[in-house]
Amino acid sequence: MAIAKFNVRVSVQDDERATGCKVLIVLLRDPEAVRLWSKLYTEFPGHTPMSQYPEAHFVKSANAADQFPEDTGVEVAVAGRSNAGKSSAINVIVNRRQFARTSKTPGRTQLVNFFALRDGQRLVDLPGYGFARVAEKTRRHWGDLLTDYFRVRRSLKGLLLIVDIRRQLTDYDRQMIEFAEDVDLPIHVILTKADKLKRGQAAKALLEVQKELGDRASVQLFSALKRLGEQEARQVLERFLAA
């Protein structure tokens, strides 16, 4: 393959999993090179495709609007009920383990977490909503933070709404969809944890949500556990970022 045609940077670093091994880091700046490289890896059994976002990194967490990073470039927000599987979905889409922290305890992500995907492109993990066991004051703070976020962010280009397929859409999700519609954001609903349902039940749930939302949002099946629907989710993310 004419790899020399692309702008490629190769470096060697210690394995961050502390295995004592060195890992070869290959940075591909050209999207076509990334596509070819991913294809090459997918076609060799035993290899997992590399991240399409080799330079992705955590930027900052914000607890108030004045802590949000500079509102330039483009960003896509990931929202959903507490414990729906937002952080797990982000990890699969970005193809990094524990990139966004996951937890068995609902309400873990209580801040707006900003991640850079590439220069000028961000993914934002919003605090989960709908968790019953939090104090009213905390709940109000989350609500205000989300409202502020949707109102002020000019760089916000799309919403990925993560929904636990077993619960389907809740009133909180419907509210979130309205928030996004108010500011003319395109919405994509990711029905996650599809591995928890039989194939037929998952297909039925997909149809029901599609029927309810019509052309207000696109909808897909997803499983972070089985890595189902990751390509589709990434394609939508890329489309939103390119807008």
- List contacts with ligand GTP (CB under 6 A): 80, 82-88, 102-104, 106-109, 128, 192-193, 195-196, 223-225
**In whole angstroms, what is the distance from residue 151 CA to residue 174 CA?**
17
> Which partner in ligand GTP, Mg ion, none is near 155 (CB below 5 to 8 A by kind)?
none
Cβ 32 to Mg ion, closest distance in Å?
33
Cβ 169 to ligand GTP, closest distance in Å?
15
Q: Assess 91 for contact with Mg ion (CB under 5 A).
A: no
Restricting to residues 100-129, which ones interact with Mg ion according to CB under 5 A?
A: 109
Instruction: Give the closest residue to 90 by CA, choosing from 55, 45, 123, 61.
Output: 123
Q: Assess 52 for contact with Mg ion (CB under 5 A).
A: no
Amino acid at 196: K
Of positions 87, 95, 155, 192, contacts Mg ion by CB under 5 A:
87
In the complex with Mg ion, which residue's Cβ is closer, 110 or 175? 110
Cβ 225 to ligand GTP, closest distance in Å?
4
Q: Could you tell me which residues come within 8 angstroms of residue 5 by beta carbon, excluding any fewer than 6 positions away? A: none
Owner of token pair 């499983």: 223
Provide Rg for the chain, Cα atoms.
18
Instruction: Give the closest residue to 110 by CA, choosing from 126, 88, 98.
Output: 126
Is 170 buried (19+), middle (13-18) or exposed (0-12) by CB count in 10 A?
middle
In the complex with ligand GTP, which residue's Cβ is closer, 33 or 130? 130
Cβ 162 to ligand GTP, closest distance in Å?
6
> Which partner in ligand GTP, Mg ion, none is near 65 (CB below 5 to 8 A by kind)?
none
Taken in order 233, 243, 30, 27, the sign of the CA dihedral is: negative
> Which partner in Mg ion, ligand GTP, none is near 137 (CB below 5 to 8 A by kind)?
none
Residues contacting Mg ion: total by CB under 5 A: 3
In the complex with ligand GTP, which residue's Cβ is closer, 49 or 106? 106
Q: Assess 83 for contact with Mg ion (CB under 5 A).
A: no
Continuous segment of H or E residues that includes residue 89: helix 86-94
**In whole angstroms, what is the distance from residue 209 CA to residue 197 CA?**
15
Determine phi and psi for 236, rounding to 5 degrees. Answer: -65, -45
Binding site for Mg ion (CB under 5 A): 86-87, 109
